[in-house]
Chain A
Amino acid sequence: MGEFEPKIVGFLCNWCSYTGADLAGTSRIQYPPNIRVIRVMCSSSVDPIYVVRALMEGADGVLIGGCHPGDCHYINGNYKARRRVVLLKNILKTMGLEEERVWIRWVSASEGQKFADTVTEMVDTIKKLGPNPIPTRWDI
């Protein structure tokens, strides 16, 4: 067995973070290959159910990427997404599940480097946390 390689599911908004990830690629910026990207129209369209389901099906972390505050294509979707993540993390925390596995970050379309840095930072953090314990139970 080699070193633990976390699986990260990324929900990236179409207008900023996904384009930022695209830029990281076209600019040939190197970042860990641990993230699986799902493009969504807005960070606020990520219902907690998709985050929780990813964590139950084996993801070690979930990254939600949105536009910077004030820059949302839909005016204020990212502010609403932020509140949702606050609530989700609070619920996971009360239940003793690891809220540190859920991240929300702002990456603009021009921030290819920030996207790469965010993924690198997240992979490092989750490597320290270890594998997600939720999928160890088959009866959930």
Chain B
Amino acid sequence: MEGMILVKDGDIASGCNELFKGFLTSGRIEALLISRETPNGKMAFPALISDPEKLGSNILSPILPVSEASEISRMTINKGSDKPIGVVIRPCQVRALTEIVKLNQANLENIVVISMDCPGTMDVNTFSNMPEGKVPTDIIMDHLLNGTDIDQYLRSSCRTCKDPVPVNADITIGLFGVDLGSGFLVQAHTESGERLLEGVKLEAYKGEREKALAEVRGGKDAKREAFISSKKEIKGIEAIADFYDKCVNCHNCMNACPICYCKECIFNSSVFDSDANKYVHRAKNKGIMKMPDGALLFHITRMNHMILSCVECGLCEQACPSNIPLMDLLIPVAENAQKELDYYPGKDPDEKLPMVVFREDEYRSVGEK
């Protein structure tokens, strides 16, 4: 099921808000998890909204302060929802959600996933410190209507987005390949999506969606490729150590990551606890030892644990207090590792995680001479 929803004066945000309001008032969903700008307009957070009058959402607001997938995990990890809940999340977060369901960290029972073509998001600080007269939503709208280059405002992971079009959502809000002056596209991909859209007045869609999507995806792919090849010089122990040397072991990147889910992370455990004698012994190895130690160990281990499921949302980079451009390394590492194990995170909900399956006849040369 698909069709256009017409809006007055090209006000896409209000049109979407009305659509979501209809979902809530129809009683087909009990609540909606959706990003909501705070009263001063300088920040936004996912909000779980049950009262249609309190909705006030702005789907174009370009900010992703926390992982929406993690919030769905928070709600459903122990028990699936008894009543239908709608969640409006970005494409990277749909991919993250698909991955954390595989990791048994979220339950999609009665969850209707609504996503949108994503023009990208800004860093929290860029968003809340806009120069006088600049409105983030207007910048995004200008980009969608006129194709203006907005890369200077976007987070690096959004500039090089792996896929700005949602896959595995129940409902997609289409913004690409659509005459946004007249309205936006709505597509239901599943039964639960169609049920939610019942009774919504849809006009016939006339446009070349596939062509537009291929163009947007092609543009992002090219930027991602150029990004990866521009980071080739971060190689070898000197470059890698320099890259991470601002790390203060705060583990914010790990906490912000939708994929890193362990409640008891080995880095917060007592596994590597030691006493003064042992520290001195270790210091004597090199004659000098950084305190606290283990920043590089942390980053390489984290990669080993999460990189195959990394959806490149870039929330780790946004959370870093030392402004380490973490994606500069994570994207090339993810690209190579996922290629090696032939896995695309977030694509196929039925495909098993690469680290839980194996084939007897694979990688023979790794275990033999």
B-facing residues in A40-96 (Cβ within 8 Å): 47-49, 52-53, 56-58, 66, 69-70, 76, 78-80, 82-96
CA separation between A18 and B32, bound complex, in Å?
Answer: 56
Query: Does B266 sit within 8 A of A, measured CB to CB?
Result: yes
Encode A101-140 as 1/0 by CB contact (under 8 A) with B: 0001110000000000000010000000000011111111
CA separation between A133 and B296, bound complex, in Å?
Answer: 14
Cβ contact within 8 Å between A140 and B358: no
CA separation between A84 and B249, bound complex, in Å?
Answer: 25
Q: Which residues of A contact B236 (CB under 8 A)?
A: 96-97, 133
Q: Which residue of A lies closest to B356 (CB)?
A: A80
A104 interface neighbour in B301, B355, B367, Cβ under 8 Å: B367
Encode B351-363 as 1/0 by CB contact (under 8 A) with A: 0001110111011
CA separation between A121 and B368, bound complex, in Å?
Answer: 12
B367 interface neighbour in A49, A96, A105, Cβ under 8 Å: A105
A94 interface neighbour in B241, B287, B296, B332, Cβ under 8 Å: B332
CA separation between A113 and B358, bound complex, in Å?
Answer: 29
Q: Which residues of B contact A79 (CB under 8 A)?
A: 358-360
Cβ contact within 8 Å between B297 and A49: yes
Q: Which residues of A contact B366 (CB under 8 A)?
A: 82, 85-86, 89, 104
Cβ contact within 8 Å between B341 and A86: yes
Query: Does B148 sit within 8 A of A, measured CB to CB?
Result: no
> How many A residues have CB within 8 A of the partner chain?
43
A-facing residues in B246-284 (Cβ within 8 Å): 266, 272, 282
**A136-B355 CB under 8 A given contacts A49-B266, A87-B304:** no
CA separation between A80 and B272, bound complex, in Å?
Answer: 25
Cβ contact within 8 Å between A106 and B368: yes
A–B complex contacts, Cβ < 8 Å, 7 sampled: A91-B304, A91-B307, A94-B333, A94-B336, A133-B237, A138-B287, A138-B289
Across chains A and B, which 7 residue pairs bring their CB atoms closest together, nearest first?
A96-B235, A79-B358, A48-B304, A140-B296, A96-B236, A49-B301, A137-B241
**A83-B295 CB under 8 A given contacts A57-B285, A140-B290:** no
A-facing residues in B57-102 (Cβ within 8 Å): none
**A94-B337 CB under 8 A given contacts A83-B363, A138-B290:** yes
Cβ contact within 8 Å between B333 and A95: yes
Interface residues of B (CB under 8 A from A): 234-241, 244-245, 266, 272, 282, 285-290, 293, 295-297, 300-301, 303-305, 307-308, 329, 332-333, 336-337, 340-341, 354-356, 358-360, 362-363, 366-369
Q: How far is the CB of A114 from chain B (nearest CB, A)?
A: 11
Q: Which residue of B lies closest to A106 (CB)?
A: B367
Q: Which residue of B lies closest to A85 (CB)?
A: B366
Main secondary structure of the interface of A (DSSP, over half): helix
Cβ contact within 8 Å between B358 and A83: yes
Cβ contact within 8 Å between A139 and B333: no
Q: How far is the CB of A19 from chain B (nearest CB, A)?
A: 18
Cβ contact within 8 Å between A139 and B358: no
Q: How far is the CB of B48 from chain A (nearest CB, A)?
A: 36
Interface residues of A (CB under 8 A from B): 47-49, 52-53, 56-58, 66, 69-70, 76, 78-80, 82-97, 104-106, 121, 133-140
Cβ contact within 8 Å between A90 and B367: no
Q: Which residues of B contact A70 (CB under 8 A)?
A: 360
Q: How far is the CB of B290 from chain A (nearest CB, A)?
A: 5
Q: Which residue of A lies closest to B232 (CB)?
A: A96
CA separation between A69 and B368, bound complex, in Å?
Answer: 11
Q: Which residues of A contact B360 (CB under 8 A)?
A: 69-70, 79
Q: How far is the CB of B232 from chain A (nearest CB, A)?
A: 9
Known: A58-B285, A104-B366, A105-B367. 5 other contacts (CB 8 A): A49-B301, A92-B300, A96-B234, A106-B367, A140-B241
CA separation between A35 and B272, bound complex, in Å?
Answer: 22
Q: How far is the CB of A58 from chain B (nearest CB, A)?
A: 5
CA separation between A53 and B267, bound complex, in Å?
Answer: 12
CA separation between A121 and B369, bound complex, in Å?
Answer: 10
Q: How far is the CB of B272 from chain A (nearest CB, A)?
A: 8
Q: Which residue of B lies closest to A93 (CB)?
A: B336
Q: How far is the CB of A103 from chain B (nearest CB, A)?
A: 9
Q: Which residue of A lies closest to B233 (CB)?
A: A96
Q: Which residues of A contact B368 (CB under 8 A)?
A: 105-106
CA separation between A89 and B336, bound complex, in Å?
Answer: 11
Cβ contact within 8 Å between A82 and B367: yes
Cβ contact within 8 Å between A80 and B355: yes
Q: Which residues of B contact A93 (CB under 8 A)?
A: 336
